[in-house]
């Protein structure tokens, strides 16, 4: 009897911990709740370790992730998988076997808030392997340096160096990649790097080979407005809670984590920050850039007075290499044909939607792929154990777009 009561109490406690009211319409809510409980417990454990001075929270998280998730480069009958370097940056290469012919090529940047995850994780290994197989293409998945050891512009420079090496005549020839059919891609923070690299290299007239396409999966593109409708709507939707994103940004930009409440109040982009011009503001003005069905009834939060000087202290906030949404129209117009995937239940939804809109306005051909039941990160949860249905659908459509456009 006592055992049964204890069991019931434990179960209730576990259910209380796992249960989270989710918005209706999100794909497979119970799976997301379980995933969230796992994430939250890791985050809380790493916060505790951080507070006690045991180690940096990111190190603990990465240790857990690599213990559970990192897999060796194992070739399979269809794909030769090797770990090498690309422009000096560690990279996992997926090279289809079979006849020697010219193939399409994709350089890929994984997500994880510029601080977490790796190209060697099972989920990214599976995604890139599948891309190599289904597209019969060479996929290069880059392990750029991570925060907190590396901060902006290190991640960006690694992504750029790897991309320049990828587009070099020697490398294309070595791997039999068709110079006319190369793409840059990435998800979340990796989508940020992919967009930034696409801007830089499309405007570089010294380059002979250019990207034919850019494929951005729920990318993060700006840090000046933490009150876009998607930040407001999804602030408490797992797994990327609104404060986590502010924390990732501060860490990436090498800024003090004590600025988090200030960012979350939009105090850093108040109207008295004279360094932010009206032109800059217009590039992320969602009241003008988003369609009515995404704006819903949300109101912009623009502070008259904030905390002056933050933009001066953290210059990365205004740096287009960190925040690709701030690019000029002329720069955007030179970038290649784009695929922008967004999820309804994602704080970053509007970053992607605004970017897609601005690219289109600049004359770029854009495919917007929006998932009404999608949540941030769903694409990397397409496989076991999560088997996310929206994740699987998004992988299929992403690969189909690449097949038809690369």
Ligand X SMILES: *[C@@H]1O[C@H](CO)[C@@H](O)[C@H](O)[C@H]1NC(C)=O
Positions marked catalytic? 188, 346, 376
Window of 183-191, 204-212, 241-249, 300-308 that interacts with ligand X by CB under 6 A = 300-308
Closest to 207 (Cα-Cα) out of 177, 161, 168, 156: 168
Which of 50, 56, 126, 281 is the binder for ligand X (CB under 6 A)?
281
Which of 306, 336, 357, 377 is the binder for ligand X (CB under 6 A)?
306
Cβ proximity to ligand X: between 230 and 335 the closer is 230
Contacts of 181 by beta carbon, 8 Å cutoff, 6+ apart: 104, 105, 212, 406
d(CA 387, CA 395): 12
Window of 196-204, 234-242, 259-267, 324-332 that interacts with ligand X by CB under 6 A = 259-267
CA 112 centroid distance within chain: 7
d(CA 156, CA 196): 8
Cβ proximity to ligand X: between 278 and 384 the closer is 278
Cβ proximity to ligand X: between 41 and 282 the closer is 282
Strands across the sheet with 177-187, in order? 79-86, 89-96, 137-142, 103-109, 177-187, 213-217, 337-345, 366-375
CB of 113 to ligand X, least distance (A): 22
Cβ proximity to ligand X: between 83 and 154 the closer is 83
- The answer to whether 122 contacts ligand X (rule: CB under 6 A) is no
- The answer to whether 80 contacts ligand X (rule: CB under 6 A) is yes
Distances in Å between the Cα of 390 and the Cα atoms of 1, 108, 228, 273 are: 43, 21, 24, 41
Which of 63, 296, 299, 305 is the binder for ligand X (CB under 6 A)?
305
Window of 142-150, 187-195, 278-286, 346-354 that interacts with ligand X by CB under 6 A = 278-286
- The answer to whether 275 contacts ligand X (rule: CB under 6 A) is no
- The answer to whether 280 contacts ligand X (rule: CB under 6 A) is no
State the Cα angle at 324 between 351 and 375, rounded to 5°: 30
Which of 14, 173, 282, 328 is the binder for ligand X (CB under 6 A)?
282
Which of 97, 299, 329, 400 is the binder for ligand X (CB under 6 A)?
97
d(CA 13, CA 20): 13
Token pair of 167, please?
């587009």
Which of 102, 265, 320, 362 is the binder for ligand X (CB under 6 A)?
265
Cβ proximity to ligand X: between 281 and 370 the closer is 281
Concatenated DSSP letters of 304-323: SS--TTHHHH-GGGG-TTT-
**Where does residue 80 rank: exposed (0-12), middle (13-18), buried (19+ CB within 10 A)?**
middle
Which of 46, 185, 307, 394 is the binder for ligand X (CB under 6 A)?
307
Task: Answer for the pair 323, 223: CB distance below 8 angstroms, yes or no.
Answer: yes
Which of 25, 88, 98, 261 is the binder for ligand X (CB under 6 A)?
261
User: In the complex, which residues of this chain contact ligand X (CB under 6 A)?
Assistant: 80, 82, 97, 261-262, 265, 267, 281-282, 285, 287-288, 302, 305-307
């Amino acid at each position: 009897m006592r055992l049964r009561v204890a069991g019931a109490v434990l179960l209730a406690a576990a259910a209380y911990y796992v249960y989270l009211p989710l918005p209706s319409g999100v794909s497979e809510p119970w799976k997301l709740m379980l995933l969230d409980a796992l994430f939250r417990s890791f985050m809380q454990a790493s916060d505790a370790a951080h507070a006690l001075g045991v180690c940096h929270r990111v190190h603990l998280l990465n240790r857990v992730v690599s213990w559970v998730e990192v897999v060796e480069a194992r070739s399979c009958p269809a794909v030769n998988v090797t770990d090498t370097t690309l422009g000096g940056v560690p990279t996992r290469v997926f090279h289809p076997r079979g006849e020697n012919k010219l193939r399409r090529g994709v350089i890929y940047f994984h997500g994880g808030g510029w601080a977490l995850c790796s190209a060697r994780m099972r989920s990214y290994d599976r995604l890139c392997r599948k891309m190599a197989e289904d597209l019969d293409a060479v996929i290069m998945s880059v392990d750029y340096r991570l925060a907190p050891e590396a901060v902006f512009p290190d991640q960006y420079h690694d992504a750029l160096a790897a991309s320049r090496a990828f587009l070099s005549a020697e490398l294309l020839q070595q791997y039999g990649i068709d110079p006319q059919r190369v793409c840059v891609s990435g998800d979340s923070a990796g989508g940020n790097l992919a967009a930034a690299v696409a801007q830089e290299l499309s405007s570089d007239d010294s380059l002979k080979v250019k990207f034919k396409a850019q494929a951005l999966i729920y990318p993060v593109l700006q840090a000046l407005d933490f009150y876009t409708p998607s930040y407001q709507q999804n602030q408490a939707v797992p797994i990327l809670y609104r404060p986590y994103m502010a924390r990732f940004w501060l860490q990436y930009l090498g800024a003090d984590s004590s600025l988090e409440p200030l960012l979350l109040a939009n105090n850093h982009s108040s109207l008295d920050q004279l360094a932010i011009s009206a032109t800059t503001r217009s590039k992320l003005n969602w009241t003008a850039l988003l369609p009515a069905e995404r704006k819903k009834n949300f109101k912009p939060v623009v502070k008259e007075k904030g905390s002056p000087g933050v933009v001066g202290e953290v210059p990365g906030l205004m740096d287009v290499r960190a925040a690709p949404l701030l690019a000029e129209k002329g720069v955007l117009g030179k970038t290649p044909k784009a695929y922008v995937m967004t999820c309804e239940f994602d704080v970053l939804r509007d970053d992607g939607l605004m970017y897609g809109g601005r690219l289109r306005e600049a004359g770029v051909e854009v495919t917007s792929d929006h998932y009404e039941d999608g949540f941030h990160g769903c694409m990397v949860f397409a496989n076991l154990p999560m088997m996310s249905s929206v994740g699987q659908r998004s992988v299929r459509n992403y690969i189909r777009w690449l097949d038809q456009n690369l």
